[in-house]
Structure 1
């Protein structure tokens, strides 16, 4: 699935709309629902980084409760000696832990390209109806490429063995004949930690990869967007807009050259925004309300320090 992001995104949306309008059955006639997995990221505020790459080769979704209700226990896969492995149409289940394996080609993603509302479809699959509560993402490779071509190969903690476990903000209920989208949001600013002095390229000794991400259902989430400016005619690019709830930073965005920002997949609720950039006074906006499936606009005025 190494396509241009825009093309992949548009094709996935078309497929989701069509699938959600048809009866979904697997090869054995069992009811399934359609789930689309997208990936995006919170920003990585480093002008000297050209690419932040991860390679994913497996995606799994866990049945709530850790078992496989409704999966015929007599249909063991002929290609797997594990007595707990069973087939269900074109899917494989590990019924010992309840994870459903989603068909996925090895895919390299540049997380720096997935900012301010841009997403890439990681997988589009039909799943047995039911409730799911966790994603397991198998990351086999991670690296940082600086704008001078220097590359840092990074050790993948956990993801290269058991996989990165991401709990869904609310359980995913897959219903027959319905399409669902899950957004996986990587926070680059916390996932890639600079070793050495990050203020200059000469001072960078490497990076530590400690993936921080969240997973939300887009159908149960809202969008936050806005414009950060010094005056109505002077935008402020490169400002960080953080979304905070109960003293926890949920996610963040960095404004574009035109001063705009866009954050996807925010669960419904009330948040505080903090906007900051060097040379300006930090601006805080309380009581920003996000509603399901709605877009909320919050424009922010930044004032230069005296």
Structure 2
């Protein structure tokens, strides 16, 4: 999972197909980000999203389209707090409890020029993934159904913002990987796509950010993992300046750790990181890591 660098932020403004609505409306914004992969041999890992719908699970006729212009996103650019807006739509006031995401294809490009694609319309999704919050693959519609844990209430003039975080490392399942004598990846024969993602309400979520460093300066490419109940909730890598950011973190209790080849966490200077982090609604936590060489 990799998080780096200055990236082009693609802003996609989308509106409802039902723009003839003359009644009161509110605004819904959907943003995309990435929990990246641990291989450094890729220049891109892209998804093409064709359409997004919202409605109510109890009424099949309630689904309305809020984005229907296919857009391709390089997820490796959407890291360390960088997001891209998938949809920014005015929708009628009311309660909504279901969102549908239509991903048609994915592509991976390696630094050596090799390129691989996986088409969901032709091949379907591979397995059920590890989608959080009850998200499910809808084979009938070839969509990803995202139930909203708490119904989204749109009131006149309101603004709601949600974040979709796709875990590239767990979603792009590499096949036929060959390694060199140093266990570094050289090439592969292809991949399948098994969507692994989380979906959060930004109105109640917080941010954890900080710097990974040793006695000589900041450290890039360190893996920072946020754990909940003993499993990884999300993760990132420190960028070229040693900075990292984890966004869209719901209220709750977490633990956090960082890993980097050749380094261990210094027992001095990491006292704040050894215990439980209590994230409050809309809070911002600063957590720095002090590393030392392991030999």
TM exceeds 0.5?
yes
Question: For the structure 1 residues 129 and 255, does the alpha-carbon distance in structure 2 shift closer, same or farther, using more than 3 Å as the test?
Answer: same
Q: CA shift at 1:104, angstroms? A: 2.7
Q: Which residue of 1 aligns with 2:197?
A: 213
Q: Which residue of 2 aligns with 1:295?
A: 284
Query: Quick one: which of 40, 45, 48 aligns to 1:47?
Result: 40
Which consecutive aligned stretches of 4+ in structure 1 deviate over 6 angstroms post-superposition? none
Q: Which residue of 2 aligns with 1:176?
A: 156
Q: CA shift at 1:249, angstroms? A: 1.5
1:116 equivalenced with 2:80 (yes/no): yes
Q: Which residue of 2 aligns with 1:84?
A: none
Distance in 2 (alpha carbons) for counterparts of 1:26 and 1:303: 58
Question: For the structure 1 residues 170 and 277, does the alpha-carbon distance in structure 2 shift closer, same or farther, using more than 3 Å as the test?
Answer: farther
Query: Quick one: which of 126, 137, 144 aligns to 1:164?
Result: 144
Question: For the structure 1 residues 129 and 154, does the alpha-carbon distance in structure 2 shift closer, same or farther, using more than 3 Å as the test?
Answer: same
Which stretches in structure 2 are left out of the alignment for 5+ residues? Answer: 1-6, 126-136, 267-272
Q: Which residue of 2 aligns with 1:135?
A: 99
Cα contact 2:28–2:89 (8 A) shared by 1: yes
Question: For the structure 1 residues 286 and 133, does the alpha-carbon distance in structure 2 shift closer, same or farther, using more than 3 Å as the test?
Answer: farther
Question: For the structure 1 residues 144 and 220, does the alpha-carbon distance in structure 2 shift closer, same or farther, using more than 3 Å as the test?
Answer: same
Query: Quick one: which of 246, 262, 267 aligns to 1:279?
Result: 262
User: How many residue pairs were aligned?
Assistant: 260
Distance in 2 (alpha carbons) for counterparts of 1:138 and 1:185: 15
Q: Which residue of 2 aligns with 1:77?
A: none
Taking only aligned residues, the RMSD between alpha carbons, in angstroms, comes to 2.5
Cα contact 1:223–1:262 (8 A) shared by 2: yes
Q: CA shift at 1:155, angstroms? A: 4.1
Distance in 2 (alpha carbons) for counterparts of 1:121 and 1:99: 21
Q: CA shift at 1:295, angstroms? A: 1.4
Kindly name which structure, 1 or 2, has the bigger radius of gyration based on alpha carbons.
1
Cα contact 1:104–1:123 (8 A) shared by 2: no
Q: Which residue of 1 aligns with 2:251?
A: 268
Distance in 2 (alpha carbons) for counterparts of 1:208 and 1:60: 25
Once the two structures are superposed, the pairs formed by residues 193-232 of structure 1 within 5 Å of their partners are 193-195=173-175, 196-197=177-178, 199-231=183-215
Q: CA shift at 1:300, angstroms? A: 1.1
Q: Which residue of 1 aligns with 2:132?
A: none
Question: For the structure 1 residues 285 and 62, does the alpha-carbon distance in structure 2 shift closer, same or farther, using more than 3 Å as the test?
Answer: farther
- Three-state SS of the structure 1 residue aligned to 2:11 is helix
Question: For the structure 1 residues 61 and 197, does the alpha-carbon distance in structure 2 shift closer, same or farther, using more than 3 Å as the test?
Answer: farther
Cα contact 2:10–2:84 (8 A) shared by 1: no
Question: For the structure 1 residues 113 and 182, does the alpha-carbon distance in structure 2 shift closer, same or farther, using more than 3 Å as the test?
Answer: same
Query: Quick one: which of 99, 115, 128 aligns to 1:151?
Result: 115
Distance in 1 (alpha carbons) for counterparts of 2:21 and 2:164: 30
Cα contact 1:275–1:300 (8 A) shared by 2: yes
- Three-state SS of the structure 1 residue aligned to 2:263 is coil
- Three-state SS of the structure 2 residue aligned to 1:190 is helix
Q: Which residue of 1 aligns with 2:235?
A: 252
Query: TM-score, normalised on structure 2?
Result: 0.80
Q: Deviations over 1:131-189 (max 9, x none)?
A: 33332211111010001111011243347952122344544222221111111111111
Distance in 1 (alpha carbons) for counterparts of 2:149 and 2:197: 11
Q: Which residue of 1 aligns with 2:294?
A: 305
Query: Quick one: which of 33, 39, 61 aligns to 2:54?
Result: 61
Cα contact 1:26–1:32 (8 A) shared by 2: no
Q: CA shift at 1:235, angstroms? A: 1.3
